[in-house]
Amino acid sequence: MSVAFKTISALAICVLLFLPLYGAQSVNKTVKTGIILNARSFTAACNDEFYVTAAGRKFKLSKGMVNISAAGDNSVMMEKYKIPLPLKIESSKGIVFANGNAYRGYFTVVKAGKKINVINVLDIEDYIKGVLPKEAGPDWPLEALKAQAVISRTYTAANLGRHAADGFDMCNTTHCQVYGGAGAESLSCNKAVAETYGEVVTYEGKFAQTVFHANCGGHTEDPKYVWGWTQATPEYLKGVKCGYCGGDTHFRWEKTLDESFIREKLSAYKIGKIKSIKVKGVTPAGSAKEIQIVHSKGTFTMNAYKFRTAVDAWQIKSTTFDGIKKDGDKFTFKGRGWGHKVGLCQWGAKGMAEKGKKYKYILEYYYPKTKIEKIEYNNK
């Protein structure tokens, strides 16, 4: 997968758990990110001297690598030594390695049943440096990267504590944001983070829900058609016309799937052999509202977004269909865009930046009526 296509990784195809919005004022300076979860062991390393702290004692280790494994109780084996949990691993130079990947900040290792979790604790700004290259192409225009930096920072600040029950704030997968650590950083992305230091998107004094997707196919979508919202949609998420994302190869797409594959994916709905698949109702943005399936046992209708994610969101790239045709036991889907289409269109932001638009303009365009404010970090 090319770097550009990593843009769908974090928030583009997963169904987000929307949390209550909080006032955009002061937030913790650090973020705890779960990087290795439910593991039996991992390797910690450093290019310089590093330190392990446990039970109030601090041990100095020479540069190199050490294996740490769960001992089955509230402790770990570090080579031949048994050490109680939790433990802290840090370097005097600020870079430590876990399973060969470099990270800023330090690690804490905690009990996870009979296994262990490794948590990377670092400044939010340094965390965003490890997120941005995973969510946008480092070769993209600086203004597009700056827009992505602001919305990724906003999402982080608004969701601190999302995994509090597990002892950390954010995971490093698509459930939260994909995070690659210091090893994923690039000069262009770090520049975008530095030039937007502390900036977040707010709406009526609170953090905005800065959802985004890869390509809207020409118009972003109202979330009520995607996630079935019953509450009123905030004005800034209602959807806007986008004429900037046509340069992406996935602006238009086509995919042929076997009837048996689709039926297997929809097995929970007890559908018989599929005779036809049709769009039922279209949103103002041009997306399908529902999908009607005529099969050997009757007719079944479901939300179009749920149909897409149930079948395969990587192959059926959006719910903006230009056609669904049946040929024997195969169905060919043609459509536009990639992702849920709510919020910022990443390829649209790239296209706008290429035409000279600044990041603040881009954010105002995709999130109308919002503001860019600067948060204050506290030292908790």
| Contact indicator for 323, 336 with CB cutoff of 8 Å | no
Give the number of other CB atoms < 10 A from CB of residue 81. Answer: 11
What pLDDT score does 69 carry?
95
Please report which helix (H) or strand (E) contains residue 347, including its range.
helix 346-354
Cα gap 249→246, rounded to integer Å: 8
3-state secondary structure of 222: coil
Span 185-230, pLDDT tens digits: 999 999 999 999 999 999 999 999 999 999 999 999 999 999 988 8
Q: What percent of the chain has pLDDT over 70?
A: 93
Is residue 163 predicted with pLDDT exceeding 70? yes
Question: Buried b vs exposed e over 307-319: b needs ≥16 C-beta within 10 Å?
Answer: bbbbbebeebbbb
Q: What is the pTM of this model?
A: 0.88
The one-character DSSP state at 341 is -
Average pLDDT score over residue span 33-62: 92
| Contact indicator for 44, 107 with CB cutoff of 8 Å | yes
Q: Which residue has the tokens 């392990």?
A: 52
Show the 3-state SS of 353-380: HHCCCCHHHHHHHHCCCCEEEECEEECC
| Contact indicator for 334, 254 with CB cutoff of 8 Å | yes
Is residue 46 predicted with pLDDT exceeding 70? yes
Span 104-148, pLDDT tens digits: 999 999 999 999 999 999 999 999 999 999 999 899 999 999 999
What pLDDT score does 228 carry?
86
Q: What percent of the chain has pLDDT over 90?
A: 78
Q: Which one is predicted more confidently, 64 or 257?
A: 257
What pLDDT score does 234 carry?
92
Read off the tokens for 171.
């995971």
**Helix residue ranges per DSSP H, 219-345:** 223-226, 259-265, 304-311
Span 254-291, pLDDT tens digits: 999 999 999 999 999 999 999 999 999 999 999 999 99
What pLDDT score does 174 carry?
82
Read off the tokens for 373.
């404010």
Q: Which of 167, 229, 203 is nearest to 369 (CA)?
A: 203
Q: Which of 148, 133, 119, 147 is nearest to 31 (CA)?
A: 119
Strand 30-39 and strand 170-171: the pairing is parallel
Which residues, in sequence order, are CB contacts of 152 under 8 Å at separation 6+?
128, 131, 132, 135, 177, 210
The average confidence (pLDDT) of the chain is 91
